Amino acid sequence: MLIKNYLLAFSFGLILQGCVVQDYFINADLKKADAALEKKDYKSAILDYNKVIKAKPDMFEAYYKRGVAKFSAGQTKEAMQDMETAIKLNSTSADAYNQRGSMKASTRDIKGAIKDFDQAVKLNPKLVDAYNNRAFAKLSTRDIKGAMADFDKSIELEPNLAEAYNNRCLVYLQTGSLDKAMLDCNKAIQLKPGLANAYTNRAFAYLSNKKPKEALNDFSKVVELNPKSVLAYNDRLMARLALKDFKNIIEDCNNMVELDPNYALAYNNRGFAKANTKDLQGAKADFQKAKELFELQKNKGPEYQLAMDNLKMLNKLK
């Protein structure tokens, strides 16, 4: 009888030991996946979360984080499925609703996104990211008042968050409240001097206030912070154009073409600047190149039409 009980106890001990060993490997894979996600190595993160989920298919954390990794990797449909599962496993997670809302917003399901953001802030009234995300969703529906209220709430909750001030600055710019926009941009830059978007927004505020020199300084700061950004050079063109600085417009366009030889707008803008410096042949060549790239990219919008019109005008000057 004693031997039988001993054998039962021994068998039960082996089961417990096996569970401990399994949990050890699951936790090791989870930590490995988390580290990959932190490093933005989404492919590796997804593979390791797969291992965790295979071993423990009811782990909310693994589905949630794999969903985040997939979304960051551009796998929106698969990410949405993971977040759906995560919410089924834990329907009280504000972060999961916030993430699913972001995914829906990226697919233009704005109504669904706002519904998820609503649920996120209901579950966690202090989740700043959800207020910011809902504000942008509301902006896309032209609910300016609602967006402003959410940005205000973000700042109330985190008064030292530079991005919150920068986001609210966008609303002030859209509504023409330039002085308030400037104040928010200044605050954002004060809190985070390396926040490039804040300089961009302040530059647009300066342009609206007819201060192109100040705008140029801010656009140049953005280029300094992001020297490989085509858009940073492109934005700076607006200040240079206001100053009629065609020589440096050409230089900025040269930099854009070097960074992205297929950026049709750079050729279009450079052609315009060359025409204004009497380099008509150079302008014609740039407009022709812009036209070819726009056609290749199946983009026949206003920029394409402008290139065509300018090309026709130059051809008439023969």
Q: Tens digit of pLDDT for each residue in 269-288? A: 999 999 999 999 999 999 99
pLDDT given at position 8: 52
Asked whether residue 9 carries a pLDDT value surpassing 70, the answer given is no
Rg (CA), the chain: 27
Asked whether residue 317 carries a pLDDT value surpassing 90, the answer given is no
pLDDT in tens, 211-224: 999 999 999 999 99
What is the domain class of 248-318 according to CATH?
mainly alpha
Mean pLDDT, the chain, rounded, equals: 91
Categorize the per-residue pLDDT at 2 as very low, low, confident or very high, splitting at 50, 70 and 90: very low
Tell me the backbone φ, ψ of residue 63, rounded to 5 degrees: -65, -40
Q: Which amino acid is at 17?
A: Q
Asked whether residue 14 carries a pLDDT value surpassing 70, the answer given is no
**Cα 73 vs. chain centroid, distance in angstroms?**
13
* Mean pLDDT for the stretch of residues 150-174: 95
Tell me the backbone φ, ψ of residue 121, rounded to 5 degrees: -75, -25
State the first-to-last Cα distance of the chain, in angstroms, to the nearest integer: 112
CB atoms within 10 A of CB 255: 19
Asked whether residue 255 carries a pLDDT value surpassing 60, the answer given is yes
Asked whether residue 13 carries a pLDDT value surpassing 90, the answer given is no
pLDDT in tens, 150-160: 999 999 999 99
Maximum CA extent, the chain? 112
pLDDT given at position 314: 82
pLDDT given at position 229: 96
CB atoms within 10 A of CB 288: 17
* Mean pLDDT for the stretch of residues 225-233: 96
DSSP assignment letter at 318: -
More confident residue, 11 or 216: 216
pLDDT given at position 315: 79
81-85, 115-119, 275-279, 312-316: the lowest-pLDDT one: 312-316
**Cα 170 vs. chain centroid, distance in angstroms?**
15
pLDDT given at position 1: 47
Looking at the chain, the whole-number percentage of residues with pLDDT higher than 70 is 92
The pair of structure tokens assigned to 35 is 């580290």
Asked whether residue 107 carries a pLDDT value surpassing 70, the answer given is yes
DSSP assignment letter at 301: S
pLDDT given at position 45: 94
Categorize the per-residue pLDDT at 11 as very low, low, confident or very high, splitting at 50, 70 and 90: low
**H-assigned helices in 56-177:** 60-72, 76-89, 94-106, 110-123, 128-140, 144-157, 162-174
Query: How far is the C-alpha of 266 from the C-alpha of 289, rounded, in Å?
Result: 10
Asked whether residue 90 carries a pLDDT value surpassing 60, the answer given is yes
Categorize the per-residue pLDDT at 204 as very low, low, confident or very high, splitting at 50, 70 and 90: very high
SS3 state at 49: helix
Residue 163 and residue 201 in contact, taking contact as beta carbons nearer than 8 Å = no
Categorize the per-residue pLDDT at 185 as very low, low, confident or very high, splitting at 50, 70 and 90: very high
Asked whether residue 166 carries a pLDDT value surpassing 70, the answer given is yes
Asked whether residue 257 carries a pLDDT value surpassing 70, the answer given is yes
**Cα 217 vs. chain centroid, distance in angstroms?**
24
pLDDT given at position 307: 82
* Mean pLDDT for the stretch of residues 59-80: 95
Q: Return the exposure string of 90-113: e unless at least 16 CB atoms fall within 10 Å of the residue's CB, then b.
A: eeebbbbbbbbbbbbbeeebbebb
CB atoms within 10 A of CB 301: 8
Query: How far is the C-alpha of 85 from the C-alpha of 64, rounded, in Å?
Result: 8
* Mean pLDDT for the stretch of residues 253-257: 97
Query: How far is the C-alpha of 153 from the C-alpha of 228, rounded, in Å?
Result: 35
